[in-house]
């Protein structure tokens, strides 16, 4: 009898091992890697698609995935958290359960975190947690209120997010974002925030905002007053994680906006599109990253004084007092998550760095919107050893993102599964990818990254050319059609004029010189004698106010770049500025 029981339990034990082996074995990828472009040796599959506007994700030790939805109403009240389980080991979610009876306020990003057997749910105003029952997908325990943000205006704060990070010393870290862009917003402080407006100095927000607070992770019922301000000068943090390799806290920060809108005399539209830097920060106790007084310029690779506090784009001044980031990314890419890989499936190099998910820009106009990728930053001793690398691409579904809504998917959350796979979530439709490595880990090297390096030339990744990538610059094709319709009868199709009343455009300083002067002439017309290339002309130039800004910009771009001319293009905002001045006179 005993021998029979031993044989039976041995049989059950072997079956269990086989089951575990089946689950732990990486499943087959989708034929097209579910639309992703990855370094050589990496493959991917879609775990789930269209579950709703998914934000951050977490993966449990048994492979269960938890995803936090953007708003409860996205699921028509079905619950703001989703539990996903693969029942047959093919990598696809077979069991999808919505749960959570909390009310989520506001518009800000929200998160989900697993720590010490608890599922933490971050809302705009609260942090909740539930003890998970082994084997159960949906928490069965009573919900505990961990933290409450008592700021009465918290829901109006666009930068109030509460991603959590835990160290190995019993501490929990929570950011409290700034309610303004740069301590100078007109909606917050009245007359400041207008073009050229100055920021408040000292900035009152720094007392209870724009920083990261540390709490005792074993306590519940907390408010901000129960915590300790661990670091300051950080405008907006949506992604944060403790790195066990160097026992340090890291966070990704979203920079300020509106440089050209508020300071048009200092920053061009191009500068406003690429600055200020989004940053990866190593956050030590007492660190001050300088918001709102300074910002990091990734092009100059230094902190400079913020224009609301006397800066001009180059002056350092008091900015020298503040900490430098680990690395600076292009402006407005919107980093949503930083993740340190601790699995054993990927090549060893990926344990020595950080993955960052970029949600993508919304305010880079008139240049293409940018970001929308997952990158990898090699690190050593808390410093970037080289530039960032494109790790996962293909989310946009289009070559050029003119409007944010053009992007099919927007990367959001990152998490590592128990087998070492990397999971990526996105916020538009609710798709989650599982990225796996199927190559030779020992032979993986620089040659396997060449394809991803080439992808940096894509319009939503590269630094835009100030002229060629300006989406509002005149369209030469359209300009040629309009020129032949409205202009060629006088200036001729070859741009050489009629040698009598109407001057040549070819080689003329009136065309290739001051663009504002040319815009004014074509927009408002001109009469009276002028001298062009040493000869006097006295024809009538009619106004063209009936053409919209882009059409006029197209005509002007055409004549400035044809007939042997090589002047810079004209964009629609430049025409609009002259039109506004003319109408006000």
3-state SS, residue 186 = helix
**Which superfamily, per CATH, for 57-457?**
TolB, C-terminal domain (2.120.10.30)
- Distance separating alpha carbons of residues 179 and 160, to the nearest angstrom: 7
For 469, other C-beta atoms within 10 Å of its C-beta total 17
pLDDT in tens, the chain (585 residues): 333 433 333 333 333 333 343 344 789 999 999 999 999 999 999 999 999 889 999 999 999 999 998 865 444 556 789 999 999 999 999 999 999 878 766 555 578 999 999 999 999 889 999 999 999 999 999 999 999 999 887 766 667 889 999 999 999 999 999 988 888 754 454 444 444 567 889 999 999 999 999 999 999 999 999 999 999 999 999 999 999 999 999 999 999 988 887 888 899 989 999 999 999 999 999 999 999 999 999 999 999 999 999 999 999 999 999 999 999 999 999 999 999 999 999 999 999 999 999 999 998 988 999 999 999 999 999 899 989 999 999 999 999 998 899 999 999 999 999 999 999 999 999 999 999 999 999 999 999 999 999 999 999 999 999 988 988 877 777 888 889 888 988 899 899 998 888 899 999 999 999 999 999 999 999 988 899 999 888 888 889 998 888 889 989 999 999 999 999 889 888 898 899 888 887
**Residue 112 CA to chain centroid, in angstroms?**
19
Output the pTM of the full model. Answer: 0.83
Per-residue buried b or exposed e for 31-58, using 16+ beta carbons within 10 Å of the residue's own CB: eebbbbbbbebbbbbbbbeebbbbbbbb
3-state SS, residue 314 = coil
Per-residue pLDDT at 371: 98
First and final C-alpha spacing in the chain: 105
Task: Show the tokens assigned to 499.
Answer: 């040698």
Q: Where in the chain is the domain with CATH 1.10.760.10?
A: 476-584
Q: Where in the chain is the domain with CATH 2.120.10.30?
A: 57-457
Instruction: Using the Cα atoms of residue 179, residue 183, residue 185 and residue 187 in order, give the sign of their dihedral.
Output: positive
> Which of 299, 319, 298 minimizes the C-alpha distance to 308?
319
- Distance separating alpha carbons of residues 443 and 464, to the nearest angstrom: 35
Q: What is the DSSP string of 317-376?
A: GGGGGSPPPSEEEPTT--EEEEE----SSS-GGGGSEEEEEE---S--TTSPP---SEEE
Report the CATH number of the 476-584 domain.
1.10.760.10
Q: Count Cα atoms within 13 angstroms, Cβ side, for 477.
A: 0
> Which of 544, 347, 525 minimizes the C-alpha distance to 448?
347
Per-residue pLDDT at 190: 46
Please list the residues that pair with 355 across neighbouring strands: 339, 376
């Amino acid at each position: 009898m005993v021998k029979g029981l031993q044989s039976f339990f041995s049989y059950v034990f072997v079956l269990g091992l086989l089951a575990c082996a089946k689950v732990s074995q990486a499943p087959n990828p989708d034929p097209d890697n579910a639309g992703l472009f990855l370094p050589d040796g990496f493959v991917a599959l879609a775990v789930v698609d269209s579950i709703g506007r998914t934000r951050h994700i977490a993966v449990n030790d048994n492979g269960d995935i938890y995803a936090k939805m953007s708003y409860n109403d996205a699921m028509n009240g079905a619950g703001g958290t989703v539990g996903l389980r693969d029942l047959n080991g093919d990598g696809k979610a077979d069991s999808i359960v919505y749960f959570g009876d909390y009310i989520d306020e506001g518009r800000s990003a929200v998160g989900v975190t697993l720590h010490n057997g608890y599922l933490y749910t971050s809302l705009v105003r609260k942090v909740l947690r539930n003890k998970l029952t082994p084997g159960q997908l949906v928490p069965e325990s009573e919900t505990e209120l961990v933290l409450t943000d008592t700021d009465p205006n918290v829901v109006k704060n666009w930068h109030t997010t509460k991603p959590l990070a835990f160290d190995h010393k019993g501490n929990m870290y929570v950011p409290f974002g700034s309610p303004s862009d740069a301590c100078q917003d007109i909606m917050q402080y009245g007359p400041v925030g207008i073009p050229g407006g100055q920021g408040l100095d000292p900035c009152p927000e720094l007392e209870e905002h724009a920083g990261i607070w540390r709490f005792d992770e074993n306590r519940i019922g907390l408010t901000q007053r129960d915590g300790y301000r661990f670091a300051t000068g950080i405008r907006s943090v949506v992604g944060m994680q403790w790195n066990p390799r160097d026992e340090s806290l890291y966070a990704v920060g979203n920079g300020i906006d509106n440089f050209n809108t508020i300071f048009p005399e200092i920053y061009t539209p191009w500068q406003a599109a690429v600055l200020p830097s989004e940053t990866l920060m190593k956050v030590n106790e007492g660190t001050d990253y300088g918001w709102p007084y300074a910002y990091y310029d990734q092009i100059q690779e230094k902190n400079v004084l913020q224009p609301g506090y006397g800066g001009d784009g180059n002056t350092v001044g008091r900015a020298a007092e503040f900490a430098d980031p680990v690395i600076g990314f292009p402006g407005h890419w919107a980093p949503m998550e930083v993740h340190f890989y601790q699995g054993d499936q990927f090549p060893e190099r990926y344990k020595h760095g950080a993955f960052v998910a970029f949600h993508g820009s919304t305010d880079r106009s008139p240049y293409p919107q940018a970001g929308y990728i997952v990158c990898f930053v090699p690190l050593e001793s808390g410093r970037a050893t080289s530039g960032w690398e494109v790790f996962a691409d293909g989310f946009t579904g289009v070559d050029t993102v003119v409007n944010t809504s053009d992007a099919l998917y927007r990367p959001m959350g990152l998490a590592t599964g128990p087998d070492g796979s990397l999971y990526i979530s996105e916020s538009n439709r609710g798709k989650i990818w599982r990225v796996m490595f199927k190559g030779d880990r020992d032979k993986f090297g620089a040659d396997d990254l060449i394809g991803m390096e080439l992808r940096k030339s894509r319009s939503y990744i590269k630094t835009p050319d100030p002229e060629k990538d300006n989406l509002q610059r005149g369209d030469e094709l359209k300009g040629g059609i309009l020129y032949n319709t409205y202009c060629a009868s006088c200036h001729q199709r070859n741009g050489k004029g009629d040698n009598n009343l109407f001057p040549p455009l070819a080689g003329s300083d009136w065309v290739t010189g001051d663009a504002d002067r040319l815009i004014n002439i074509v927009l408002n017309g001109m009469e009276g004698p002028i001298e062009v290339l040493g000869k006097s002309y006295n024809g009538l130039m009619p106004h063209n106010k009936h053409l919209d800004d882009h059409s006029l910009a197209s005509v002007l771009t055409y004549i400035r770049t044809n007939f042997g001319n090589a002047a810079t293009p004209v964009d629609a905002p430049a025409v609009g500025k002259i039109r506004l001045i003319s109408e006000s006179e």
